[in-house]
Structure 1
Amino acid sequence: MNDIWLTRILPHPQSRDARRDLADAVGLHRRLMSLFPDGAGPDPRASLGVLHRVEDAPTGPYILMQSGHRPDISRLPTGYGAAATRELGPLITALHAGGQIHFRCVASPVRKPGATTRAHYNLPAVVPLTGAHADEWWMRQADAAGLKVLTLHSQPLDSATGVRGQRGTGQQRIRHARTRFDGTAVIIDPDQLRAKLTDGIGRGKAYGCGLLTIAPSRSRAGGTTP
């Protein structure tokens, strides 16, 4: 299988660039993509396999990024923060049916009503899901990822927001409702799980949603961090 890299970036609180990126989902996406070469095609994020999320820790927030190519962390601005990268290939290759894991995913659970339903109830094209409806959405995603969920805890998070595009050329405000899903599961289909680990889950992948991380059940969720 292709290489998969996991990078952890611990922004320095004194860095103005880092503070600005953490407050702007679009800006953070641009920052992370700047760590890779140009010329990756019409959808560079997907071509390079870049997924990320921001995690909170007692020492402050940090950025967790997965990619199919090793990033050049020297491209971060001077004083931006500390960064470390490691390869996930051995962990992903070792996945096997019957293995028990911890999982974590910050995702954007939604449903897309049909045109008739939208017109009747005056609904938008995409409806964010919360509570039990978000949990049901996650159970479907986990099934598609080759997992049988054993335990699940979900927590709503602030939406990922930002402005995409240049002034004067048609700016677009983006907003993705987010829920963090933590729990344990048994691997049913390792190949399906590998595909979802690589591709991500749901919408808003450029803006901090969809990164699924796993760890053996003897470790805590999120234990794949470098």
Structure 2
Amino acid sequence: MYLTRFRVNTARSDARRLLSSPHRMHGAVNASFPMPPSRDGSGPRVLWRVDSNGTSETLLYIVSPNRPDLTHLVEQAGWPASDEPGWTTFAYEDFLAGLQPGDTWGFRLTANPVHNIRHEYVKAGERTKRAAHKTPRHQMDWLLKRQEGAGFEIVQKPVERRLLPEGDEYELIVRGQIPLQFRRSSAEARKNDVQITKVTFDGRLRVTEPDLFRRTLTHGLGKAKAYGCGLMTLAPVRGKT
């Protein structure tokens, strides 16, 4: 497994075009591999996420079973005349193997929190409709319901640090809710547009089941993984938990 970080040159029009469409970015990421891994669930898949840290830095993260070649992205959305390679790839396997129960990490996850709804007019036996969670409270609940099955638990705040009597129990914030609507191809009708809502979670977690957690980090969490959702990255915790 590999973790790759690529800095996007947002001054370039091609870079802005990529960033405006998860479908285009998905294609660019897949083009980094001669043969992308299968998406049938039998093994780790290619996951990606775009982080914008203010106006000065936009980073593309990729987790993949194989080492990517981002030469085409440097030419399209990087600094092709620079002496620097344009991206950094880290071997991820040793890090994953070293995860232990009780380890505490800061984390970032961009996800597509959804639930299935059934309107009154939908007949019995018909499929339900998938809808996005709209409020931070419901989005947090979506993640909290999945933590056990994903091999981790969100760290709870000490009582003295809770600012509200309810809804402030966890080291978890929701930010950057972004509703997106785009087409898989320009020839498709608008009724076939893809609609997703991206939400970014920042917080602290504790590893409970390392094998499940490794699967979460390499297979992703939630829906819309092809469109930049599902990738969780970790960072060392600084200061007291």
TM value normalised by structure 2: 0.78
The aligned counterpart of 2:122 is 119
1:23 to 4, 14, 20: 20
Tell whether the 8 Å contact from 1:111 to 1:128 is kept in structure 2 after alignment. yes
Aligned to 2:166: none
Structure 2 residue aligned with 1:142, among 139, 147, 163?
Answer: 147
Distance apart, 1:71 and its partner CA: 0.5
- Number of aligned residue pairs: give it: 212
Task: Provide closer, same or farther for how the CA distance between residues 198 and 91 of structure 1 changes in structure 2, counting only shifts above 3 A.
Answer: same
Counterpart Cα distance in 2 of 1:145 and 1:34: 29
CA-CA distance at 1:48 after TM superposition: 6.3
- Which one has a bigger Cα radius of gyration? 2
- The two structures, once aligned, show a CA RMSD in angstroms of 2.7
CA change 1:77–1:98 in 2 (3 A) is closer
1:76-99, Cα deviation, whole Å (9 max, x unpaired): 352521222111112111100011
The alpha carbon displacement at 1:159 in A equals 2.3
Q: Percent same amino acid among aligned pairs?
A: 27
Residue 122 (structure 2) pairs with residue 102 (structure 1): no
Change (3 A) 1:126 1:185: same
Q: Tell whether 2:27 aligns with 1:34.
A: no
The corresponding residue for 1:184 is: 204
State the secondary structure of the residue aligned to 1:145.
coil
Aligned residue number for residue 85 of structure 1:
89
Q: Offset of 1:186 from its aligned partner?
A: 1.3
Distance in 2 (CA, whole Å) between partners of 1:202 and 1:39 is: 20
Q: Who is 2:158 aligned against?
A: none
For structure 1, the residue ranges without an aligned partner over 5 or more in a row are 220-226
Measure how far apart 1:46 and its partner are.
8.1
CA deviations on 1:180-218 (whole Å, 9 max, x unpaired) are 111112111101100111110111101111001112323
The answer on whether the counterparts of 1:25 and 1:161 sit within 8 Å (CA) in structure 2 is no
Per the normalisation by structure 1, the TM-score is 0.83
Please say if residues 111 and 127 of structure 1, whose CA atoms lie closer than 8 Å, have aligned partners that are also in contact: yes
Q: Is the 8 A contact 1:109 1:134 kept in 2?
A: yes
Residue in 1 aligned with 2:216?
A: 196
**What residue number does 1:222 align with?**
none
